[in-house]
């Protein structure tokens, strides 16, 4: 290290800035406090996200209305017959959507049907329904069921 570098090092150690001219100096205590606030805010956001996820899991994880054993039969030029089972809460009915599609996937028929409730202990109801379409369908489906609409 030569003399010039030594002088610059000494000047850097003794250098003081005029008060108020360059803003306030960073206080290490303030920096620690700020870090704590960031961690606390992150923890609050994570706990909120977990609470929302838990609520949505309880609400949608095991749907009480489930369509099973779909069987499409008697496909004609004007419709088809579909048979399926729907799982419902005990003693309740359901409202189910039926659709018919062409080979190209175009929806050519749509209907919402009401499934009457079974006995108070029945949870699976067998449904058979004929859906009328505008042209010959290739497939029929039951996209889903939900609570019976009053």
Model pLDDT, residue 47: 97
Domain that holds residue 49: 3-60
25 with 86, same domain: the answer is no
Please give the structure tokens belonging to residue 42.
Answer: 């992150």
Q: Specify the pTM.
A: 0.58
84 with 41, same domain: the answer is no
In the chain, how many domains are there?
A: 2
User: What is the chain's pLDDT, residue by residue, as a tens digit (150 residues)?
Assistant: 567 777 766 666 666 666 767 666 666 666 667 788 888 999 999 999 999 999 998 887 777 888 999 898 888 998 999 999 999 988 888 999 999 999 998 999 999 999 998 888 888 999 999 999 989 999 889 998 988 876
Q: For residue 73, what is the domain's CATH number?
A: 2.60.40
Contact in structure between 129 and 98 (CB atoms under 8 Å):
yes
76 with 97, same domain: the answer is yes
103 with 136, same domain: the answer is yes
54 with 15, same domain: the answer is yes
Distance CA 22, CA 16 (A): 11
**CB-neighbour burial class of residue 97 (10 A; exposed 0-12, middle 13-18, buried 19+):** middle
141 with 73, same domain: the answer is yes
């Amino acid at each position: 290290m030569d003399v010039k570098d030594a002088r610059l090092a000494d000047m850097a150690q003794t250098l003081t800035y005029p008060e108020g001219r360059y803003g306030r100096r960073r206080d290490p205590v303030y920096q620690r406090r700020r870090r704590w606030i960031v961690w606390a805010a992150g923890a609050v956001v994570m706990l909120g996200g977990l609470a929302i996820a838990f609520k949505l899991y309880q609400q949608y994880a095991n749907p009480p209305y489930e369509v099973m054993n779909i069987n499409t039969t008697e496909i004609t030029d004007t419709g088809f017959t579909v048979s399926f089972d729907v799982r419902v809460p005990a003693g309740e009915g359901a409202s189910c959507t039926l659709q018919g599609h062409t080979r190209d996937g175009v929806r050519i028929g749509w209907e919402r049907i009401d499934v009457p409730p079974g006995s108070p202990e029945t949870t699976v109801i067998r449904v058979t329904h004929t859906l009328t379409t505008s042209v010959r369908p290739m497939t029929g489906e039951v996209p889903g069921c939900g609570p019976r609409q009053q």
